[in-house]
Amino acid sequence: MEANKKQLIIIGGGFAGINLARKLYNNQYYEVTVIDKHNYNYFTPLLYQVATGFLEPSAISYPFRKLFQHTGIHFRLAELNRVDPDKQLLFLSDNSILKYDILAFAAGSTTNFFGNALLQKNALYIKSIEDAINMRNTLLDVMERASVEKDPVIRKALLTMVVAGGGPTGVELAGMLAEFKACLMGMDYPELKGETLQLYMIEGSANLLAPMSDASHKEAFKTLNRLKIDIRLNTRVEKYEANLVYLSTGEVIHAGTLIWAVGVTARIFPGIDQDCLDKSHRMITDAYNRVIGYQQIYAIGDISVQYGDTRYPSGHPQLAQPAIQQGKRLAKNLLLAAKGKPMHPFHYFDRGDMAIIGRSWAVADLFRHKKHPVHLGGILGLLSWLFIHLVSLVNYNNKIKTFYNWLVAYLTHDQVLRMIFHADKPTSQKTPRPHPHSLLPDQPAAPKKVANGKQRVLF
């Protein structure tokens, strides 16, 4: 470490953290260290394609130490347990203590179960590579079990999947599962030829892809409906246990799999004043991404929220673009501060939203900051989606692998990545949890009616 440089520590190497670090490569003012619990960066918008077997994990991930070679950026594999802002100390999971001059939180977000312990225990979700691999293992395992199941009621439940959440992640997941149903089910599992993979999409609001345009709402609904997905709007999943999905309408779906894609929340770091957090635990910052109440602590990306932008009174969306732009802006501001110049406030440039639905359809709302935004659907939407996601990958190695996987899947309607790789710890949790979708042969069939007489089971 160079004594004349300030120690800048970045917590998290996602979109925000990696763009902050990249703009500070080989700079003369700061000694930069990135701390992350993984030793690799990964592209979160494509996690669902790993989870459904259309991409391999290495196509969307790249090791930090390889990425930071010859850049002057240091990497530390650890988690932050606690921060002492008064002494400017960080207490890490490897029992080490680091001193910082400037601290930047870029730790992203985690799945929000809204306090529902049953959903957290039993549902599948994706926020990391481990979660995606676990989902892929579980989905493939369910298909293997269904292929040998003789009881028609149990087999039907195994072949029923529910996706909760009609945002981009939920819609894209449902589309990929529909492609699997249409193209691969009879091919990979001849024992299930003639069977139906029943897919449900449950969304609590009145529209799929709610933040997008009306045109995107309608196209998403129409496309998923064409893919034979049963869509329920203005409906919430309230509970999931014993392979029964309880809906807010009183209906109950007998399903072997529930995928939770409803919302996210920020992680709380001990030592940061609770008054600095909003109701989703995001750190409240000023226009320069400085956490309120602290002079040397910043927050960028999903973990931060700014209330000063009149176009976004509730804060900027927790998406890749705000995180990327905040990371770049903070790097420029830190360099300005090091030169004794005033910082510039952050202004979000909304490039738009997009979502792919199945193999050959996508919607995109571009230039939403303008008076007349551009909506693209179908093949034009697909091409724009493919281009944006390819150029956003962190390395040429990732771009080539991803493009090759997509090309194979598009031309052949097939992919060879549907393999089950079990690990000692199947999810990103500290301890293994029981298989969330056990549907044992001796389990009785779901009842036709529930005790109160108001609920009905759907098959």
Q: Is-contact 80 269, C-beta < 8 A?
A: yes
Nearest to 439 by CA among 195, 239, 256: 256
Q: Please state, in angstroms and rounded to a whole number, the distance separating the CA atoms of residues 453 and 447.
A: 11
**Average of per-residue pLDDT across 14-26:** 97
Higher-confidence residue of 366 and 443: namely: 366
**Average of per-residue pLDDT across 146-151:** 94
Q: Is the pLDDT of residue 436 over 70?
A: no
Q: Is-contact 137 421, C-beta < 8 A?
A: yes
What does pTM read for this prediction? Answer: 0.87
Q: Which residue has the tokens 């150029």?
A: 391
Average model confidence (pLDDT) across the chain: 88
Q: Is the pLDDT of residue 443 over 70?
A: no
Q: Please state, in angstroms and rounded to a whole number, the distance separating the CA atoms of residues 128 and 149.
A: 31
CB atoms under 10 Å from CB of 129, counted, come to 21
Band of pLDDT at residue 406, cut at 50, 70 and 90:
confident
Q: Which amino acid is at 67?
A: L
Please tell me the least confidently modeled range out of 88-102, 104-118, 370-384: 370-384
pLDDT the model gives residue 444: 42
**Average of per-residue pLDDT across 115-126:** 93
Band of pLDDT at residue 34, cut at 50, 70 and 90:
very high
Q: Give residue-wise pLDDT tens across range 231-251.
A: 999 999 999 999 999 999 999
Q: Answer positive or negative: Cα dihedral of 110, 33, 23, 401.
A: negative
**DSSP state, 63?**
E
Q: Helix count (H) and strand count (E) of the chain?
A: 12, 25
Give all domains of the chain, ordered by start, each with its CATH number.
6-37+78-109+266-338 (3.50.50.60), 117-263+422-458 (3.50.50.100)
| Share of the chain residues as helix, strand and coil, in percent rounded to the nearest 5 | 35, 25, 45
Q: Answer positive or negative: Cα dihedral of 406, 386, 300, 121.
A: negative
Q: Is the pLDDT of residue 368 over 80?
A: no
pLDDT the model gives residue 388: 86
**Beta strand spans in 179-243 (E):** 198-202, 229-232, 237-241
Strand partners, 92: 80
Q: In Å, how far from its chain's centre is CA 402?
A: 18
Burial 50-62 (b: 16+ CB within 10 A, else e): bbbbbbbbbbbbb
What is the full DSSP assignment across 221-255? HHHHHHTTEEEE-S--EEEEETTEEEETTSEEEE-
